Structures are given as structure tokens and as C-alpha cells.
Structure 1
Amino acid sequence: MAQFKKGESGNITGKPPGLKSKKTLILETFAQTIVEGGMKKFKAELNKLEGKEFITAYMTLFEYVKPKLQRTELTGLDGPVRIEVKVKQST
């Protein structure tokens, strides 16, 4: 059996980087079918919620569409960054 260096393959016509596997494509298609098939009922159930329940459900679902941003801290060379907001008064 041939020995290959790490990161090299003996199959030069192998799967290109970024190409989804057959398993991934099947799972994505399956999930899409479930979502599309149940969307009408899901919307009806979501519309029954009110107040805090609706907000909680909406925000929970929203994280699957737009992940939370990581918190970042801005620092200057000698400590925290000082931000000044100047508002120009119109005359």
C-alpha cells in the first residue's frame, strides 16, 4: 500500500473542496420537504401565540436564521476606547 504525505491523496480526481456529500444533500432535501409541508400548520400555531410567548418563540426561531453575534470588546492602545458623539445643531 502506498504511503502518502499528510494532506495529499492518491486520488487526484477526488471530491473538490466545498462540495456537499450525498448524505448532506439528502438530509437537506428531507428537512426542506418537512419544513415546506408543515409550514401552513406551523404559521397557524405561531399566530395563536400572543405577548411574551410569541416573542420567545420568534426569537428562538430567529437564531436558526441569523446566529447571535459574538460579543466583542473594543480597546485602545492604553485601555478602553473613548467614543465621542458630536451632534451638529442646525440653525
Structure 2
Amino acid sequence: MAFKQGESGNKTGRPKGKPNKVTGNLREWINKFINNNREQMEADFKALEPKDRIVMFEKLLKYTLPTLQATSLTADFAKMTDEQLDEIINQLKKSNND
């Protein structure tokens, strides 16, 4: 039988911001696992070949550092005033001199 929205025991669903129980339990288990096996994991990491160690380090970084998103900038120079264009030119000249 397929689930139909609004027919569950909780018609409003999970409140916004309330953590998912399964996700919370899994995160707690992973944290305990890592803490209980930290020494072994560090020893295994040190036993890797330098190239493999760098690859592993790079993979782990994504869990600690925010991912940078690519950005793009577009400007319609035809709609800009002469003053705005002059300011852009002056800023570019200044950045090239620094």
C-alpha cells in the first residue's frame, strides 16, 4: 500500500528543523566507531603510501572544509553610464599596478 500524504498518524509531518531519528542514530554510531578506532585508523593512515595518503587526506577534507561554489559575473556594459565604466577601468588599472 502506497503512502498517501496527509494520511499518516502525523498529518503535519516532521516539524521543520527537527532532526531525523535514523540520521541522528547513524551519526552517533559513526562518531562512536571513529572514536573507538581512532588509533588503528591513524596507524592505517600512516601505513599508506604517500600518494594514497594524499588521496585519503583530500577525501577527508570535504567533511571539514566548506565546498566552494563556482561563481560567474556578467555585466551589460551597454547599460552602464560613462561614470560607471570609468570607475571599472580605474579599478582595473589600480589592481594591475598593485
- Does TM, scored on the shorter chain, surpass 0.5? yes
Map of 1:24 onto structure 2: 23
What runs of 5+ residues in structure 1 fail to find an aligned partner?
1-8
Map of 2:48 onto structure 1: 49
Question: CA, structure 1 residues 51+23, in 2 after alignment: closer, same or farther (shift >3 Å)?
Answer: closer
Question: CA, structure 1 residues 10+61, in 2 after alignment: closer, same or farther (shift >3 Å)?
Answer: closer
Whether 1:64 and 2:60 are equivalent positions in the alignment is no
Instruction: Give me the TM-score of the superposition, normalised by structure 1.
Output: 0.60
Letter of the 1:60 counterpart: K
Root-mean-square deviation (CA), in Å? 3.0
Instruction: Give me the TM-score of the superposition, normalised by structure 2.
Output: 0.57
Question: Which structure: greater strand fraction?
Answer: 1
What is the deviation of 1:31? 1.2
What runs of 5+ residues in structure 2 fail to find an aligned partner?
1-9, 78-87
Counterpart secondary structure, 1:71:
coil
Of stretches 62-71 and 52-61 in structure 1, the one that deviates more from structure 2 is 62-71
**Number of residues paired by the alignment?**
76
Question: Which structure: greater helix fraction?
Answer: 2
Matches of 1:30 and 1:48, distance apart in 2: 26
What is the deviation of 1:50? 4.2
Matches of 2:28 and 2:65, distance apart in 1: 21
State the identity %.
Answer: 25
Question: CA, structure 1 residues 10+63, in 2 after alignment: closer, same or farther (shift >3 Å)?
Answer: closer
